[in-house]
Structure 1
């Protein structure tokens, strides 16, 4: 009988231990196709206090005031615990969110958007104390037919660092970042693209000026036209530019592209299977299919103008690591939402202080199906234990 009386307390302890365990991310280093010498195979080894550690997430798909009880008391609760535990374990210096903060942002009024932003701040928890940067995705601002410069400007004003077109350029230590509104680039002629091109050209000019002052002289440049993009060619080497942040992945060309370290061994970004069929109405709901990428002309424009050091993109819901034809690495960040996938995750990147190497880790979080099964089992055991402990002893004997 003594064991029966303490059974509820044992179940509570088991639940606390289980929640702590499933909230802890499982991270694995993803080796580069051209790894620098003496790179560590474990997170945290050979790291310096001057290294910039960044947690990169995407596709939170928050519902704000449209969220039901299940989302509010279950999914939001665990999403908040994921952020809190990741903060404690990985100790990042910065958080990047690569778009699709909202599941249906393009359909929301400003008051409904405000509830999404409040929900976003609530689940971020301790990350609000750190520098963080948010991109806009296609679910946040809509497809080409829905793009509205006034709406994009208002949404951008609610996130730190974004200009009215949804772009930004900033630096942390000696690491430079450029984030672009990839939806505006995807849609061709629109009122927002001028702002995006202005950001690209400004950063390209600054990059060339810095190179002229510190390194080799730059060759005489000339204008190049590709369909509706015009850029000024530069002779800077690939990978000498900033870290590029996008929501949409770049265009893939088989003859100018090699795969490297892919978890999903496919030749294209066709991740329709990443959606949770039948589990969520929001999994596949968006202006663009999950295999959509930026068009070829926009991709070439970005490579030529910015010479990105590394690219982080999202949208597909799945992790992917690819190396472009010029050696530039592109990491696609998985969805960190049970709305999109059963096994969410994120990317943890460490930028070395010597600017010569970047380590990338793919971090996995608990599966929703496993958590539901375990929590249901614990709930059933708790109810049974309460029934047993509150049953009169003489009834048990008889």
Structure 2
């Protein structure tokens, strides 16, 4: 059968065969260009920055000047030299690079936050492997001078608490200018960066240093939020910061029993939702969670780590958003959060990336159509 089909193709006039081959090349090229490039524009173009509640009462010029446009993503997990197969690495990194670059071009955010686990093997990578991972990250997540990128340390970047060393923490801080307890203030909005891996509470050197910085920062923020006519000797010599309540950015979520209450198409699978979380591994301990809530009284908490989406309320009033993974390697429907933020308000909107299963479906359909076209031509 294959022999007769091959003979039939060879017997076609040369010009007709060349025309047929050219059409096949154009068809295959079009499918590749769409699935590996254009689909990101088609999908992300549908995402819109969320409107603030009081946005209707603000002038357009005032709104654009005072609203900070932030993109929040998590758990990119760039594969390393030990566990990362070259094909898997190539596929996942291309997906993330195209997603990120397309989002920057279409949405033009002011700032991008990555909530930890930037790398997959930072917890054990050699200096040479670390340098290679950093080089690839900087290529994939390159950005203009008009967009700021801030990365938070995760357990895969510096190790779980029992693997964490000052060396691993310092090399991450050197690359990303990250320090636990660091305050980033943009347009009067306070963002507090937390090394949640160091919130173990066992008095280790890194933990003590991290907690001391957080306590000192919380004192400054609390003093800055006091009313001008309120006298407090403890705040008399404290540097005044914008009075906006802070937003906490960290890798581990605050303590919750499980993902049982989480909803949405990108929440954890049903079979995983009722699995109890382990403190200091899946989530922060209850003690560490209470400390952060007590110290900062944040208006919003953004976290990652679980690879699935979740929204919870702490103390009945403080929302926490767990951001799902940005990589196809961890889920079929990755996404990121778009935030319109002011010193007194915020509004969040999720933007989904192309589903990996849909891309495979397009390839399968194109392959089937290609077989049909070849069969038709061979029968003519």
Q: Fold conserved (TM > 0.5)?
A: yes
Deviation at 1:104, TM superposition (A): 2.1
Partner of 1:178: 192
Aligned to 2:359: 371
| Residue 92 in structure 1 maps to residue 96 in structure 2 | no
Q: Which has the larger radius of gyration?
A: 2
CA separation of 1:294 and 1:16: change in aligned 2, threshold 3 A: same
State whether residues 291 and 316 of structure 1, in contact with CA within 8 Å, keep that contact through their aligned partners in structure 2.
no
Q: 1:345 to 1:271 in 2, by over 3 A?
A: farther
Q: Report the equivalent of 1:120.
A: 137
Residues 121 and 128 of structure 1 are in contact (CA less than 8 Å); yes or no, is this contact kept in structure 2? no
Q: Deviations over 1:298-330 (max 9, x none)?
A: 111111111112110111111112222251111
Separation (CA, whole Å) in 1 of partners of 2:324 and 2:225: 34
Cα deviation code 1:164-209 (max 9, x no counterpart)? xx44221112111111110110353211112221221222221233
- CA, structure 1 residues 384+48, in 2 after alignment: closer, same or farther (shift >3 Å)? same
1:154 CA displacement: 1.9
1:129-163 CA deviation, whole Å, 9 max, x = no partner?
62111111111122222121222112221112x23
Is 1:241 matched with 2:239? no
Structure 1 residues 20 and 52: CA distance shift in structure 2, 3 A: same
**In the superposition, relative to structure 1, how do residues 128 and 373 fare at CA in structure 2: closer, same or farther (>3 Å)?**
farther
Q: In the alignment, what sits opposite 2:264?
A: 263
Q: How far apart in 2 are the matches of 1:325 and 1:218?
A: 28
Equivalence for 2:149: 132
In structure 1, C-alpha distance between the alignment counterparts of 2:50 and 2:202, rounded to whole Å = 35
Partner of 2:26: 9
Q: Is the 8 A contact 2:50 2:340 kept in 1?
A: no
Q: What is the RMSD of the two structures over their aligned residues, measured on CA atoms?
A: 3.8
How far 1:291 moved relative to its partner? 7.7
Q: Distance in 2 between matches of 1:365 and 1:167?
A: 32
Quote the Cα distance in structure 1 between the aligned partners of 2:170 and 2:140. Answer: 24
1:1-398 mapped onto 2 (5 Å cutoff): 5-18=22-35, 19-23=37-41, 24-25=43-44, 27=47, 36=53, 48-66=64-82, 67-126=84-143, 130-160=147-177, 162-163=178-179, 166-186=180-200, 188-212=202-226, 214-215=227-228, 217=230, 241-252=245-256, 262-263=263-264, 273=272, 292-352=282-342, 355-378=343-366
Q: List runs of 5+ in structure 1 lacking aligned partners.
A: 222-238, 275-287
Instruction: For residue 313 of structure 2, give the secondary structure of its aligned residue in structure 1.
Output: strand
In the TM superposition, residue 118 of structure 1 has moved relative to its aligned partner by: 1.1
Task: Give, in whole Å, the separation in 2 of the partners of 1:290 and 1:296.
Answer: 9
Residue 156 of structure 1: SS of its match in structure 2? helix
Residue pair 1:29, 1:362 contacting (<8 A) in 2 also: no
Q: 1:71 to 1:77 in 2, by over 3 A?
A: same
Q: TM-score, normalised by structure 1?
A: 0.74
Distance in 2 separating the partners of 1:51 and 1:328: 21
Q: Distance in 2 between matches of 1:137 and 1:272?
A: 25
Aligned-pair CA distance for 1:86: 0.9
Task: Please report the TM-score for the alignment, with normalisation by the length of structure 2.
Answer: 0.77
Q: Distance in 2 between matches of 1:156 and 1:299?
A: 23
The superposition leaves residues 373-398 of structure 1 with CA deviations (integer Å, 9 ceiling, x where unpaired) of 4235546766887x789x9xxx866x
Contact 1:271 1:290 in 2 (8 A): no
Partners of 2:49 and 2:338 within 8 A in 1: no
Higher share in helix: 2
How many aligned residue pairs are there?
Answer: 344
Over 3 Å counting, the alpha-carbon distance change for 1:47 and 1:16 in structure 2 is farther
Q: Is the 8 A contact 1:240 1:308 kept in 2?
A: no
Query: Contact 2:70–2:339 at 8 Å: present in 1 too?
Result: yes
Matched-pair contact (CA < 8 Å) for 2:153–2:195: yes
Q: Distance in 2 between matches of 1:16 and 1:338?
A: 19
